[in-house]
Amino acid sequence: MLIEIREATAEDLPALARLRWECHTERQPADEHDFDAYRLGFAQWCSARQGRCRAVVAVDGSHVVGMGFLVLVDRVPSPGSLDRHHGDIQSMYVTPAHRNHGVGSKIVRRLLDLARDAGCERIEVYSGSRAVTFYERSGFEHVDRLLNRVLGQ
């Protein structure tokens, strides 16, 4: 299986929307959601965040079979470091037929390279329980000081 790992282009947006849809519906049914409306909204969302959100894709032949996003998050400047930011890995997904072949690890390595190139101080990921060991194998560690609060609606 020869898989190409590369940064996504505008031509990949429909495939990225499809994979994001598959990722979501794999965990919970899409109910009455409209894929075409989602695809258009997804493309607008990505276009509005050019430069601050970068996607990496895994391509098998002509099919995008995996993805991951690096979102750059600005941090408040500190003395001696006015341009501070960190990276956040989001929406990692590999199609079921391509899992357990190293595709996800290659996507993460490429995202880490992009984060280093962008000058990130650190990179974080909020993982589902299924993928915790995957990220640990990629060098991620638990941070005791990280706190999270879900805001009510």
What was the pLDDT predicted at 128? 84
Domains of the chain, by residue range, sit at 3-137
Q: What is the CATH code of the structural domain delimited by 3-137?
A: 3.40.630.30
pLDDT tens for residues 139-150? 999 888 888 888
Per DSSP, the three-state class of 37 is helix
Task: Tell me if 70 sits within 8 A of 115, measured CB to CB.
Answer: yes
What was the pLDDT predicted at 1? 67
Q: Which two tokens stand for residue 112?
A: 């880490």
User: Between 117 and 49, where is the model more confident?
Assistant: 117
pLDDT tens for residues 80-139? 888 888 999 999 999 999 999 999 999 999 999 999 999 898 999 998 888 999 999 999
Instruction: Please compute, for residue 128, the number of CA atoms within 13 A of its CA located in the half-sphere on the CB side.
Output: 9
Q: What percent of the chain has pLDDT over 70?
A: 97
- The structure tokens 């509005």 sit at 48
pTM, full prediction: 0.89
What was the pLDDT predicted at 153? 64
